[in-house]
Amino acid sequence: MGISNGESAFCDAKNYLSKQSWFYGLVIREDIVQFLQKTGDWLCRYTDSHGFMQIVISLKASDNIHEFHVLGFVYIFGSSFGHVPYVAVNGHYYLALTTGRPSRWYIVDWKRNTFSSVHELITYHRVSKLPCGVSLSSAVPRPDWLISSERLKIKRRIGSGNFAEVYAGTMTCILGLNQMLYVDVAIKACRTVENRSERGVIDELTSRVQMFAEAKLMSKFAHRNVIRLYGFACDEPPIKIVMELCPGGSIRNHLEVQQDEIGDAEKIFYAYEAAKGMRYLHHEGCIHRDLAARNCLIGARGNIKISDFGLSKAAAELQGLKFDSKMHMPVRWMAPETLRRHPRFSVKSDVWAFGVLLYEIFNQGEKPWPEVDFCKIVRSIRRCNMPDPPRGTPSSISKLMAVCWAANPMKRPGFSRLCNVLHLLLTTKFRLPPPCQLSIASLDGVVPDNVSFEESTSSKRTVEDSHISYVPRQLKLNEDDLRKFEDDDMSRSATLSTEEKVGPLIKR
């Protein structure tokens, strides 16, 4: 079946736009405002109207941001004409009207000038004013983390969620003239809805908005214990978050497979690595809200990395939050104060979840209450009736779980304190074996790094610990110690070691 003139015309426009630095793809209006700061700033993007894709020019004027929809029109049987929207089908754009001959492009409600191509239209309005009295004088290039889908190659599926599928793949990076680097990546692709009903389109748009918010939040992070964002591809559906690939999978899967083959010291190391990642996120003002063993991944160098920011929010965004029954929340990991009509998510609700993570780590990856009714779980958490520590859990870890599950959020330690306690355990009561003898060394693609393990087990005080002088020599977490551990992390930022902070891995 040949390509119609209509399809060919839009393919030409699509190919032209995809090569332009000022093209933002499917980024929504609310999220392009931050890029348009002064009069004359402009960019181009797609908008989705009931499943039909349209080209939009967003332009900053003195009073507001104006949106100009760019359409073609089609001569049908040589006489009448109709608008040409674009529909996404199976991840590709097509002209909704493919009969007839697309002839001209124009700005909706302003047909004074029509053009033979989108390129010609843009070029003209760089010097000629639009209806708002401003021309396209200053194109705003998209940030580096908005990348082209052409750079991605999907290989195999490695996971799935409520709104997305996760794949292993590669990303092409251009290093110089005729030099390219292929990087292994994880690609989280938003599910497209086959049912193009109003409900289906709204659900897909909601998922797309959530994924963009997730990518935007991740773009701020650079830490060895937090999953790295490489880019966000939204130039065509399905939109995709591109992240570093963690070949070791989740610690939940690893614990389920290895079970008792993993020693207590290595398990404490997993907790310590996760705590460092969480300390960094809180330092950056991020509340994760989904900390669990399934979201702690094993990186290529043996680092444990916090992943899945689909529920994460900046702390300021959680003020006045109301319970949303449509949200898929991880109830078993939620603190009592979050299970009510007006939930209170905070750094301390993440600490509660860390207590559940400790439970999972010492329970061979199995979650608490595996077969218990949902309503009974909620009642137990609200009453702070948490399960007993798994059999064989070291007493020091049992006590740590207990303080993480304190009913009063203010009596839970912050992650700076948790890092110091776990560091103390690893330098006194528990000693890690050499990296090659760790269970994670047996995982394909994982080569534990000597430097990271030496940092964790060294008895020498590091920069990350130097700001706290009252870490107890013996770990006795009673009520007196709780007063010492009462946290002021939000008023005094934790100092992070130079080794923990990392810069961009790939310069685009």
Nearest-5° Cα angle at 70, 68 to 72: 155
Catalytic residue from among 41, 48, 290, 487: 290
Q: Centre a 10 Å sphere on the Cβ of residue 35 and count the other Cβ atoms it contains.
A: 19
290 is catalytic: yes
Q: Could you tell me if 475 and 424 are in contact, meaning their C-beta atoms sit under 8 angstroms apart?
A: yes
β pairing state of 110-115 and 86-89:
unpaired
Greatest CA separation for the chain: 88
Query: Which two three-digit tokens encode residue 124?
Result: 């003209």
b/e code 458-469 from CB counts within 10 Å (16+ = b): eeeeeebbeeee
Distance CA 119, CA 166 (A): 35
Query: Which two three-digit tokens encode residue 351?
Result: 């600490």
Distance CA 480, CA 330 (A): 32
Distance CA 280, CA 495 (A): 9
Nearest CA among 203, 208, 214 for reference residue 234: 208
Q: Is 313 annotated as a binding residue?
A: no
Nearest CA among 83, 105, 85 for reference residue 93: 85
Place of tokens 């929340």: 329
- Residues recognised as catalytic: 290
